[in-house]
Structure 1
Amino acid sequence: MADFDVIVLGSGPGGYVTAIRSSQLGFKTAIIEKESLGGVCLNWGCIPTKALLKSAQVFEYLKHAEDYGLKADNVEKDFDGVIKRSRNVAGDMNKGVKFLMKKNKIDVLKGFGTLKSGKKVSVKAEDGTETEYAADHIIIATGARSRELPSLKQDGKKIIGYREAMSLEKQPEKMIVVGSGAIGIEFAYFYNSMGTEVTVVEFLPNIVPVEDEEISKQLERSLKKAGIKIMTASEVTEVNTSGDGVKATVKTSKGEQVLEADIVLSAVGIKSNIENIGLEDLGIKTDKDKILVDDFYQTNIPGYYAIGDITPGQALAHVASAEGILCIEKIADMHVEPLDYGNIPACTYCIPEVASVGLTEKQAEEKGFDIKVGKFPFSASGKAKAAGTPDGFVKVIFDAKYGEWLGCHMIGTGVTDMIAEAVVARKLETTGHEVLKAVHPHPTMSEAVMEAVAAAYDEVIHI
């Protein structure tokens, strides 16, 4: 007889959410974790980075107090204090997950889990002892880690990943950030705000390359204005760490140049944690560093499932959580529909923030849609002007024929809290006219969405 109905391997935002939903559905559930409950997201990712970014934002406000008719003299930063606050926030969240495990009567098995045949998992504890557990359903949620490039091997000291970037003992004077996705840009913004001289090197022609081109260009302007150097269509080909700092050779369209810094942060994506967990022994199929699954996360071997960063969908915390809930609800024989990966919001939490969902303008055109595009700048928003945050805009894309909301792209202060309107509206198959006629509160940043839709339909009032 099985020890558990469900065993979840990994306790990140995919794993622990799945375990809680499993317990709610009446399954006897266990979760295996080798390190800290909450995984990268709670301990070294989404949450502690937001704490760092908030400190940077408050520091920026204090430095510009006079813009608000206030005086704040001799404003100083305490880098250690900022890092400490971030770690404390992560610690509190970790305690929160521990409480949720206890509340939902989930067994937490500490150690490294290895999948075995016959729906079993072996858990090796820190002291070396191994215990085997059986379950009717095993859900793999082992997440991912910072990816290493051959030319950029991380040593944890001079060439670092996101994890070390969150807990440096000393603030670097100069930093090179390689990669301009959400992780790279957020750290570039944080360290620049703290006073570090930051250069971002991006291989592709635009920063935040998955975003709409207009958003990318606006963000580049804003970051350059803040003092960040940006090199696009550039590649770090070699890094020399033999001296006091780091010398990075960067290949650009104009030839090679050598950049000097104290530290290089490699933010070139992630690598799935799928090695040494028993996939090969079981014959679980993988492709391009991902475990292959069906619409409800069943692998090719019955009784074994996979969710989150180790599967082909977007590597985002909210995607992992949604996949885990769907997976366990399908196991419980509930009526569920496959996740719509075309309606997943993406957020970058620098200042200005970036948030988007759906197709970019270029993608909509490539798919052959006849489109209506509307934009509304925050410089025309009363709330944004009053708040002193007039940078950025909201851009909406509609199908001209049926009014389907194809995409929404935002850049500005607080837009990561605004994008959900577009996600829900698209889920409900809302048309442009319905958004336009839904009364938005004034004065708010959110009414910029309505105004952008009005612009798409030639009904805009305030520009």
Structure 2
Amino acid sequence: MDHYDLLIIGSGPAGFSAAVRAVDFGMSVCLIEGDHLGGAGIMNGALTSKTMYELSQDYSIAARVDRGYRASALSVDYNQVLKTVITAGKEKQYQMLSQIETFAHSEKSLGKIRLLRGYASFEDPHTLYVEAKTGEKLRLSGKHILIATGSRPREYPGLEVDGEHIIDSNGIVSLKRFPERIMIIGSGIIGCEFSFIFSNFKQTEVHLIDRANRVLPYEDDDVGAYVARNLANNGVIIHHTAQLREIIRHPGGFMQTILDYDDGHSKVVEIDVALIAIGRVPNIESLKLENAGIKATDKNTLTINDCCQVLIDGIPSHIYAAGDVTGHSQLYSVAELQGRKAVENMAGTETSPLDYSHMSTLMFFKPELAAVGANEKKLQKEGIPYISAYYSNKLVNRNIAMRSTTGFIKILVSNDSEHRILGVRASGPQASAYIVSVAHLINRGDSLREVLQIFYPHPSVAEGIQECLRAIVGRSIYKPIAFPDDIIIREWTPEAKSL
């Protein structure tokens, strides 16, 4: 039985980042992966879906005719798009594999990484039983063990995924052509992203089921309404307050979906493909956690402390967990930082606890939508007074020059003398680039007064942040009285009526 300093189950963003960080501390690591190297962060998730998004955006821009030029004979082939998407995924996988092989044999590296292809389960708290893809059956022991098995698409009751007509987000790569008509079930981030992707290519009639009467129901109503308008403008047919009752298959491949609406009427829509996008669930069922004394929560997640140690009977253990299995936000960045945090704790390095309250999120819509910190719903739920400032991209010079003025900056600050930044929502070109700087300001607890001392480059889309903050204290160059639809300032206190 081989012994390692660290056994890692899963090579996604949590597992891979942990393996590489462990090498920094001179650890011997065995990285166990039963499927694609990189997990859902690469081949069936973040990288490939965002590659398809970027290609769809490029196509959408090329198809525009309002900029003084026109592309002739523009066409698109799904198989070629898919080939590009898979090439991007493999490019990253080979980068990862090259680094693993370097650390497996380099004499210059203090630590070592062994990649083992197979499926692992617990035999006891320090031992894993691995069924390798080579057919070998191995027993490995570890001083520390990290569970980083990620998640998979949530199943829809009564619908069986066949990879052809009924698919989930993993099944995008199994399609042979652009569907003529697609029904996307779920109006959260994943559902909205794929709605934009397919509608960007203009080859597919896209239907989106929205059970809650607004997409992104966890976001503020104005943000959800904004995204819904953009979806509709992009050609997506949104079925608000609708629930899927049944899908009826017919010879020839087409299907009929029966939708029931809250007002009592029903509608039958003919489609070729149904895409289930109702969230993801952790992968822990095959781990035999009971052999390690671990009990999952009611949500099938693992309870961890600030150092990512799994709690067994309330006591921190030598077993760690990172990524989607922990029940925190299912974000690539969260998984990566948790993996690194776990290893740093194993090595005895003192670090600050991870702060999940100010995570930056990027939603790949048209245009992209970035978020960090609290929204109005959260602040009202907690009874925190705030000022909300909305500033349209229509007034930002760089956006005007880019001919891309759809979007906004929305900033929430504390309703007191400090005016601390509490949260931001931004949509438009480069929103993902400048939202990180705002996250830094929130983490520092900076006040509006301090932030307004910063020089912003001109012309830049980030100037919208500067003007939005100025508007809160009545110092913006363009005034709400002149542009009442583009600059909106509102205050809320616990005594006020909630949203």
> Which bracket does the TM-score occupy, shorter chain normalised?
over 0.9
Q: Equivalent of 1:268, from 255, 272, 278?
A: 278
The unaligned stretches of length 5 or more in structure 2 are 104-111, 480-499
Question: What amino acid maps onto 1:139 in structure 2?
Answer: L
Question: What amino acid maps onto 1:212 in structure 2?
Answer: D
Query: How do residues 206-355 of structure 1 correspond to structure 2 at under 5 angstroms?
Result: 206-243=214-251, 244-254=253-263, 255-287=265-297, 288-301=299-312, 302-355=317-370
User: Is 1:13–1:320's contact at 8 Å kept on the other side of the alignment?
Assistant: yes
User: Is 2:219–2:377's contact at 8 Å kept on the other side of the alignment?
Assistant: no
The CA deviation at 1:281 is 2.6
The CA deviation at 1:211 is 2.3
Q: Does 1:370 align with 2:381?
A: no
Q: Which residue of structure 1 aligns with residue 189 of structure 2?
A: 182
- Tell me: CA distance 1:424–1:167, structure 2 relative to 1, closer, same or farther (3 Å): farther
The CA deviation at 1:362 is 2.4
2-structure distance, mates of 1:152, 1:238: 9
Q: Which residue of structure 1 aligns with residue 489 of structure 2?
A: none
Regions of 4+ moved over 3 Å: none
Give the alignment's Cα RMSD to 1 decimal: 1.5
SS of the equivalent of 1:461 reads coil
Question: What amino acid maps onto 1:447 in structure 2?
Answer: E
How many residues are aligned here?
462
Q: Does 1:450 align with 2:457?
A: no
1-structure distance, mates of 2:368, 2:322: 28
2-structure distance, mates of 1:71, 1:260: 34
Q: Equivalent of 2:432, from 416, 437, 442?
A: 416
Q: Which residue of structure 2 aligns with residue 144 of structure 1?
A: 151
Query: How do residues 94-243 of structure 1 correspond to structure 2 at under 5 angstroms?
Result: 94-104=93-103, 105-194=112-201, 195-243=203-251
User: Is 2:125–2:291's contact at 8 Å kept on the other side of the alignment?
Assistant: no
The CA deviation at 1:184 is 1.1
1-structure distance, mates of 2:281, 2:407: 33
Deviations 1:7-53 (A, max 9, x none): 11100011100111111122111100012211111111111111111
User: Is 2:2–2:139's contact at 8 Å kept on the other side of the alignment?
Assistant: no
2-structure distance, mates of 1:268, 1:193: 22
Question: What amino acid maps onto 2:310 in structure 1?
Answer: T
2-structure distance, mates of 1:361, 1:462: 24
Q: Which residue of structure 2 aligns with residue 56 of structure 1?
A: 56
User: Is 1:175–1:262's contact at 8 Å kept on the other side of the alignment?
Assistant: yes
Q: Does 1:22 align with 2:22?
A: yes
The CA deviation at 1:118 is 4.0
2-structure distance, mates of 1:202, 1:166: 24
Q: Which residue of structure 2 aligns with residue 76 of structure 1?
A: 75
Q: With the length of structure 2 as denominator, give the TM-score of the two structures.
A: 0.90
SS of the equivalent of 2:42 reads helix
2-structure distance, mates of 1:118, 1:252: 50
Deviations 1:137-163 (A, max 9, x none): 000000000100213332222110001
User: Is 1:212–1:409's contact at 8 Å kept on the other side of the alignment?
Assistant: no
- Tell me: CA distance 1:414–1:231, structure 2 relative to 1, closer, same or farther (3 Å): farther
2-structure distance, mates of 1:300, 1:274: 16
Deviations 1:73-131 (A, max 9, x none): 12111221111101100010110111222233311011111122141111111243211
1-structure distance, mates of 2:240, 2:4: 51
- Tell me: CA distance 1:460–1:399, structure 2 relative to 1, closer, same or farther (3 Å): same
1-structure distance, mates of 2:250, 2:102: 52
2-structure distance, mates of 1:398, 1:327: 33
SS of the equivalent of 2:383 reads coil
1-structure distance, mates of 2:193, 2:452: 33
1-structure distance, mates of 2:171, 2:390: 39
2-structure distance, mates of 1:272, 1:173: 33
1-structure distance, mates of 2:346, 2:132: 29
The CA deviation at 1:55 is 1.2
User: Is 1:151–1:236's contact at 8 Å kept on the other side of the alignment?
Assistant: no
Q: With the length of structure 1 as denominator, give the TM-score of the two structures.
A: 0.96
User: Is 1:211–1:356's contact at 8 Å kept on the other side of the alignment?
Assistant: no
User: Is 1:374–1:454's contact at 8 Å kept on the other side of the alignment?
Assistant: no
Is the deviation greater in 181-190 or in 250-259?
Answer: 250-259
Deviations 1:168-199 (A, max 9, x none): 11110000001122211111111111220001
SS of the equivalent of 1:346 reads strand
Deviations 1:289-312 (A, max 9, x none): 111112212113422111110112
- Tell me: CA distance 1:60–1:332, structure 2 relative to 1, closer, same or farther (3 Å): same
Question: What amino acid maps onto 1:432 in structure 2?
Answer: L
Question: What amino acid maps onto 1:47 in structure 2?
Answer: L
Question: What amino acid maps onto 2:269 in structure 1?
Answer: L
User: Is 2:4–2:30's contact at 8 Å kept on the other side of the alignment?
Assistant: yes
2-structure distance, mates of 1:342, 1:212: 17
